[in-house]
Amino acid sequence: MFAPRWAAFAHRGGAGHPDLVGKENTVAAFRHAVGMGYRYLEIDVHATIDDQLVVFHDDDLRRVAGGRGAIADRTSAEVATLRVGRSEPIPSLDEVLETFPQTRFNIDLKNTGAVAALVRTIDRHRAHDRVCVASFSIERLREFRRQMGRRVPTSVSPVGVAWNGYVPLLPRLLNSPGTALQVPLTQQVGKRSIPVLTSRLLRHAHLAGKVVHVWTIDDPLEMHRLLDMGVDGIVSDRTDLLKQVFVDRGIWEDR
């Protein structure tokens, strides 16, 4: 999953690319990123009420698809009638895995019902070696690991990362079954913005044999700074800018 020294991730397929406004997490966005040479796509999955996985970020349909309610309260047939940005269908995970058989996916579990469905989907497509599973919920990650075992890499939970950022010995980081730390630059705690990514966190993560990916970075100067720090991957909405930074540094690897 993490063979390249530096990984460039298209966040939701490149949600901030000028040609993709309003088309996040759609086949059109993924095809665009893959056409640019991206090997890694960051996507989100929800389970519908009839236990089918669809690629969608928000709990609520309003912002992206102009609908009402949550994906979890809709059937897959109902979801199939909706459109992202008034033009693009909401894809199923089955469709995405089948359409892009050479692409690798960082999959964010967005609701509890998606856990068992994701295990079945990965098994059905034999996609164990081309996905990494993440979640903001430590309970979802634990349940996914319990059902899937060690056959699929997972991220360290954000709770674990935040805890590890502010204690001396980082024992949870060293012992976590997660392969990757996927972190923001900072975390809002009350009225304070606390740094999450630090040189110390990077050093201990690498000593533990883990990789560090940072999200969501759309500023080229920040991308250069993070690569200079030694991060292993960057997740960006601006796939055009991230690719240019990687090309300029001579680390871009086409598909």
CA–CA dist 45, 55 (Å, integer) = 5
The answer to whether the CB of 131 falls within 8 A of the CB of 152 is yes
The answer to whether the CB of 167 falls within 8 A of the CB of 37 is no
Helix (H), strand (E) at residue 196: none
Q: Which of 17, 32, 46, 57 is catalytic?
A: 57
Q: Establish whether 57 is a catalytic residue.
A: yes
Q: Establish whether 213 is a catalytic residue.
A: no
Query: How many other C-beta atoms can be found within 10 angstroms of the C-beta atom of residue 235?
Result: 23
- Dihedral sign of CA atoms 134, 139, 143, 145 in order: positive
Say which residue the tokens 């040609």 belong to. Answer: 19
Residues 6+ apart with CB under 8 A from 47: 53, 54, 71, 72, 111, 113, 114, 117
Q: Which of 11, 32, 46, 204 is catalytic?
A: 11
CA–CA dist 29, 149 (Å, integer) = 31
Q: Which residue in 127, 180, 188 sits closest to 162, CA to CA?
A: 188
φ, ψ of residue 136 to 5 degrees: the values are: -75, -15
Q: Would you name the residues annotated as active-site residues?
A: 11, 57
